[in-house]
Structure 1
Amino acid sequence: MRQGKLSGLLPIGVFLILFIGSGILFQNFYAMPAIVAFLIALAVALIQNPKKSLNDKLRVVTQSMGDENVMTMCLIFILAGAFSGAVQAAGGVESTVNFGLSIMPPSIAVAGIFIIACFISVAMGTSVGTIAALTPIAVGVGDKTGFSMAMCIGAVVCGAMFGDNLSMISDTTIAATKTQGCEMKDKFKENFWIVLPAAIVTIILFLLLAGKSDYNIVGDLDYNLFRIIPYLVVLIGALIGFNVFVVLLLGTLCSILVGVLSGTIPFASIFTVIASGTDGKGGIMSMYDITAISIVVAGIIGLVKENGGIDYILSLIKKRVKTNKGAQLGIAALSSLVDISTANNTIAIVMAGPIAKDISEEFDIEPKRTAALLDIFTSVWQGIIPYGAQLLYASAGAAAVGIAITPMEIIPYLFYPILMGVCGILAILFSKSTRSNKN
């Protein structure tokens, strides 16, 4: 391993200072768009190491940006956006939610919301989309039953993070598997058995807290089973191991067909909903930011690695980690810290992924285990931090229907993200050391 240099990490430090500093200064962690902070960090990386010419540095940057895994990841982001825009326009979200609530026994109201959120987030691959779809319904359940509004919304966030972590069309899964070079289905199996106990205990906790109360949902719960088909196509196709490109294309085509036949998507609007959703902000357009960020981050990481930053982290971890399990704990800590700092689990995975890959190769950890750890521990913190998009969207969704709930009020009910972290640590401590298959 080359001699590492702390100075090689300067671009990452600059990004964190800018991003966190602007959030504290303006009391808004989205005051500075992440892409702006990353571009400044890239400029800093290009200024470093004056012994190398600018052309040489740009060559490193563009080679890293054009990496096969990075480009594949970006293409999948775009296809995931197309499916999201089409399926929402087709009315699949509303029908899926109403169907679940229509058949739900009265004794499992809040636990049922968690389960529905799990299903939708796995099918949609987006936690924010799930929260946006279900928060108004969760508020309605709380209003009509007397349950804590924060608890009902907490159940939505818990379920949303379940799918964000596990869904094979989630951008976090895409980023984790592509940065580690493993198959999505292998990561899913590795990940699923780690977090399953957390989901089961979460259901039990919600049943204990709210299961003894009766409720009677009043309102329109009309649903159309025909509109649920796109979700089933994506979910089943992903679980049986279809290529993610095939899954997303089938889901998008199925959504368009269902929308046109059911009258929710005018024939003339087919391409519009794919490109920008029903509100002009969804669809493929909603993936522009994360696609651009992924490319820029890849370039930054390329220079960070070239300037010895990653080798410095590796040597630092190596001094403190002597075992395979210790290295896994190091990856968990690394991904956690980056997510807390960036408030975006996909960005955190994109940033930490190359470093985690080097650690896993150094300590002989299977790529599927590393991908699972990255996704689990970034999702843990993304589902808890009050300045993350998930809790901010949950709070805003409640406000949209006239209920004031702050992110801090929801945090005590975020059982699943907390338990997911506990299960992740236990899986590392009490499982046999994972070994990659090396020749």
Structure 2
Amino acid sequence: MTKLSDNKEHQLRKRPSVAMSLMPLLVLVVLLTFVIRAFGSDSLAGASQIALLAASAFCVLIGMWRLNVPWASFEKAIVKNVSSVASAIIILLLIGALSGAWMLSGVVPTLIYYGMHIIHPDIFLVSSCVICALVSVMTGSSWTTIATIGIALMGIGRAQGFADGWIAGAIISGAYFGDKISPLSDTTTLASGSLGVPLFDHIRYMVYTTVPSIVIALIVFAVAGLLCDTNTAQDISTFALALKSRFFITPWLLLVPVLTGVLIAKRVPPIITLFLSSLMAVVAAVVFQPDALREIDPSMFKASMRCLYDSTQLATDDATLAGLVGTRGMAGMMGTIWLIVCAMCFGGCMSAGGMVGGITRLFIHMVHSRTSLVASTAASGVMLNIAIADQYLCILLTGNMFRDIYDREGYERKLLSRTTEDSVTVTSVLVPWNTCGMTQSTVLGVSTWTYLPYCIFNILSPIMSVIVAATGYGIVHRKPSADNTTEA
């Protein structure tokens, strides 16, 4: 009876037009435009969440009123979407705890102190990009890279006088490049595995688009590093002295990031790694920074707990250092988590109402050649990032929507898996309400709109994918046949 009822209900639903499918997105963009103008940097404190829920309500209204989609379908899709990011929410909370513990234990100040003496300002942006790329390749996680070494590089860059946008752009560009080509990356594995493409075939094929993109990015960062007006050696020395007077700087504190790296190399699950790393940092804080802990609370136990979950601030006369040593802990992640939940509501409503399929049809109708096929895939991936707000769902949806077309037209699946990564994985961080965009913005303390123009690699990747497709370099095209549809 239930299956028959579901089939009858499905038959009663109407298929939304492309224009109708785009309407909720248009409403969201308009609302966010007003929100950003009115609230500025405070837009993520609640107004953006309301905009997402309002756009979700508009989507439900269209679905129930014009498309005969019952509320139960929307509710089921929302619950499914929210549950899919449960582990990401736990990771976010642990990142908040880790960032607070690493700061107050002196781990980040130590990394910044030694980094300022090693990395020259002229090559800082290039060095940041390369360092994050190497760490991300080894860890397979852009999130972990940015939450650890990325935070330290932000502090070094600010001390050297670089604008936040340039620093965050170099960090994110390197981290996402490394994430894409790492065999340990979950998104890389997902993009290849979901389409039946061997993992290393997929990675080798991505080299055609990722290497030109990262080379151009490194050139831009090299030129920017030479042209940016940075602080003098005296200013940097003054900041280093202020850092050393506030924290006990010792090479022993580097054991925490080293041991964290060992856990990551052994592929210990991220949640366990972040928890153990935070615990090690708390122990280091008790041993090396007892005065800083007592400044937070006379009770060492309460101070240790507060550095994990609460906002803290240490007294200092240096304005730059004051902004650096302030921590937010787990509590600082709650706004981001709130935004993620609201974004998942919007994505669930778009899926249940059939709007995602409507947007996809818009791009499928544009397919007339190899170039237009890849361009349509890339554009669809970016649009799904905006609409669904979760890169994992977008990777699966993009692959599922285009796999039959690639098979029918005689193109290898690895062309689709590469284009999916070029358009979905790397652009997710550029969308303010996407899980990646919200996370990296919160972790680095830089607005998505601030760093977006400087994420050179992320911006170039989908464009490079289309350019390489236009040249035909490395692309195998077989004569379309009925056998293609069954090929893995």
1:30 partner SS: helix
1:320 shift after superposition = 1.3
Contact 2:78 2:348 in 1 (8 A): yes
Structure-2 change in CA distance of 1:375 and 1:316 (3 Å): same
User: Residues 42 and 300 of structure 1 are in contact (CA less than 8 Å); yes or no, is this contact kept in structure 2?
Assistant: yes
Q: What secondary structure does 2:365 align onto? A: helix
CA-to-partner distance for each residue in 1:136-187, whole Å, 9 max, x for gaps?
A: 6435535xxxxxx55xx5642332213552577xxxx99967996969xx69
State the one-letter code of the partner of 1:271: M
Partner of 2:237, secondary structure, is coil
Moved more, 241-250 or 319-328: 319-328
Report the alpha carbon displacement of residue 108 of structure 1 after superposing the two structures with TM. 3.8
Which residue of 2 is the match for residue 356 of structure 1?
398
Shift of 1:43: 2.0
Amino acid in structure 1 at the alignment position of 2:109: E
Post-superposition Cα deviations, 1:264-323, rounded to whole Å, max 9, x if no partner, equal 654433332222353586232233233333333333333322322122122222111267
Task: Check if 1:308 corresponds to 2:354.
Answer: yes
Per-residue deviation, 1:19: 0.8
The structure number with the bigger radius of gyration is 2
2:96/2:330 contact within 8 Å kept: yes
SS at match of 1:320: coil
In the superposition, the TM-score normalised over structure 2's length comes to: 0.63
Check whether the contact 1:175–1:350 (CA below 8 A) recurs between aligned residues: no
Determine the structure 1 residue equivalent to 2:310: 276
* Residue aligning to 2:169: 158
Q: Distance in 1 between matches of 2:121 and 2:85?
A: 47
1:30 aligns with 2:43: yes
Measure the CA separation in 2 of the matches of 1:175 and 1:294: 20
Q: Percent identity?
A: 15
| 8 Å contact from structure 1 (residues 175, 349) kept in 2 | no
**TM-score for the superposition, normalised by structure 1:** 0.68
Matches within 5 A, 1:123-134: 125=144, 134=153
CA contact (8 A) 2:74 2:353 kept: no
1:299 partnered with 2:345: yes
2:82 corresponds to: 65
Q: Which moved more, 1:32-41 or 1:19-28?
A: 19-28
* 2:278 maps to which of 228, 252, 262: 252
User: Quick one: structure 1 residues 414 and 307, their matched pair in 2 at CA, closer, same or farther if it must change by over 3 Å?
Assistant: closer
Cα distance between partner residues in 1 of 2:486 and 2:255: 39
**Structure 1 362/246 Cα, relative in aligned 2: closer, same or farther at 3 Å?**
farther
1:227 corresponds to which residue?
Answer: 253
Amino acid at match of 1:319: H
CA contact (8 A) 2:129 2:172 kept: no
For residue 71 of structure 2, what is the amino acid of its counterpart? L
2:56 to 27, 39, 42: 42
Task: Work out whether residues 99 and 327 of structure 2, in 8 Å CA contact, stay in contact via their aligned partners in 1.
Answer: no
Return the alpha-carbon distance in structure 2 between the equivalents of residues 420 and 331 of structure 1.
Answer: 13
Paired letter, 2:75 = L
Aligned to 1:403: none
Q: Deviations over 1:167-218 (max 9, x none)?
A: 77xxxx99967996969xx699679855455445544555566669997442
Name the aligned partner's letter for residue 272 of structure 1.
Answer: R
CA distance in 1 between partners of 2:261 and 2:37 (Å): 40
Q: Could you tell me how far 1:18 is from its partner in structure 2?
A: 0.8
The alpha-carbon distance between structure 1 residues 352 and 96, as it changes in their structure 2 partners (threshold 3 A), is same
Deviation string, structure 1 residues 204-253 (Cα, Å, up to 9, x no partner): 55556666999744232654333233333444543554332333233223
CA-to-partner distance for each residue in 1:67-121, whole Å, 9 max, x for gaps?
xx33333333333333233223322222112212223468745544555676789
Matched position secondary structure for 2:27: helix
User: Matches of 1:88 and 1:141 in 2, distance apart?
Assistant: 19
Alignment of 1:321-400 (within 5 A): 321=367, 326-336=372-382, 347=389, 349=391, 352=394, 355-363=397-405, 369=418, 370-371=420-421, 373-379=423-429
1:100 aligns with 2:115: yes
Assess if the C-alpha contact under 8 Å between 1:325 and 1:433 holds in 2: no
**Deviation, structure 1 residue 40:** 1.2
Following superposition, the deviation at residue 44 of structure 1 comes to 2.2
The answer to whether structure 1 residue 218 and structure 2 residue 237 are counterparts is: yes
Q: Give the C-alpha shift of residue 330 in structure 1.
A: 3.1
Tell me which residue corresponds to 1:21.
34
Which amino acid letter does the alignment assign opposite residue 16 of structure 1?
A: V
Map of 2:323 onto structure 1: none
Shift of 1:54: 3.5
**Deviation of the 1:354 alpha carbon:** 6.2
TM-superposition CA deviations, 1:331-360 (whole Å, max 9, x none)? 433454577x79xxx946478556435435
- Asked if the contact 1:85/1:273 (under 8 Å) is kept, the reply is yes
* Counterpart code for 1:252: S
Whether 1:5 aligns to 2:17 is yes
SS, match of residue 278 in structure 1? coil
Partners of 2:101 and 2:178 lie apart in 1 by 18
Distance of aligned partners of 1:231 and 1:200 in 2 relative to their CA distance in 1, 3 Å threshold: farther
Q: CA deviation at 1:37?
A: 1.0
What CA distance in whole angstroms lies between the structure 1 residues aligned with 2:382 and 2:392?
Answer: 13
Cα separation, 1, equivalents of 2:212 and 2:256: 29
Letter in 2 for 1:374: V
Query: For residue 401 of structure 1, what is the aligned residue in structure 2?
Result: none
Kept in 1: contact 2:96–2:331 (CA 8 A): yes
Question: Residue in 2 aligned with 1:87?
Answer: 102
* 8 Å CA contact retained: 2:28, 2:55: yes
Alpha carbons 1:5, 1:311 under 8 Å: kept: no
Match of 1:400 in 2: none
Specify the SS of the correspondent of 1:288. helix
Structure 1 residue aligned with 2:71? 54
Gapped regions of structure 1 (runs ≥ 5): 143-148, 396-405
Q: Is the Cα–Cα contact under 8 Å of residues 125 and 167 in structure 1 kept in the other structure?
A: no
C-alpha separation in 2, matches of 1:29 and 1:330: 35
User: 1 CA distance for matches of 2:170 and 2:51?
Assistant: 31
CA shift in 2, pair 1:11/1:393, >3 Å: same
- The alpha carbon displacement at 1:431 in A equals 4.5
The letter for the 1-side match of 2:27 is V
